[in-house]
Amino acid sequence: MNAILASVIAMLLFPGSWQINPEKVVEVTLTEWKIDMPTTLPPGLYNFKITNAGHHSHTLKIKNKGLERKLQKDLKPGETSELKVNLKPGVYRVNCPIGFGPFGHSDKGMELQLNVGKITR
Ligand SMILES: [Cu+2]
């Protein structure tokens, strides 16, 4: 098959496959009361694929000095959503900011520290 035609078909079948700087996908699973995801990542553009595998509503927030990103809507049990974040080197706090104080999901365990390291070659 003609190489140009083949690449056009690939672009149609896999939109995004031609992007120069494709984002990396990170799977995140939310349950009671845990956020399951990597705690160290290299810097880069990420698409966090967040699934609520629990029995309560959950959400996800990623924050440090210069950045704060949160899902627009809380996830009901079984729902999945995506959050695109450009992570620069640094330490981030990742949590589920639902509830308050001792009833807050963070305090129950839905909180972790994400370390984004420098690129080492
Ligand atoms: Cu939660």
**How far is the centre of ligand 1, averaged over its atoms, from the C-alpha of 66 (Å)?**
24
**How far is the centre of ligand 1, averaged over its atoms, from the C-alpha of 98 (Å)?**
6
Does the domain at 3-116 match CATH 2.60.40.420? Answer given as yes
- Per-residue pLDDT tens over the stretch 85-97: 999 999 999 999 9
Average confidence (pLDDT) over 78-82 = 98
- Per-residue pLDDT tens over the stretch 14-47: 665 555 667 899 999 999 999 999 999 999 999 9
Pairing of strands 44-52, 24-31: parallel
Which ranges constitute the DSSP H helices of 1-121? 3-13, 105-108
**How far is the centre of ligand 1, averaged over its atoms, from the C-alpha of 56 (Å)?**
7
Lookup result for tokens 């956020």? 35
Kindly report the pTM of this predicted structure: 0.80
**How far is the centre of ligand 1, averaged over its atoms, from the C-alpha of 67 (Å)?**
21
Which pair of tokens denotes residue 7? 């690449």
Provide the residue ranges of all domains of the chain, joining segments of one domain with +. 3-116
Q: Which residues pair with 94 in a beta bridge?
A: 62, 112
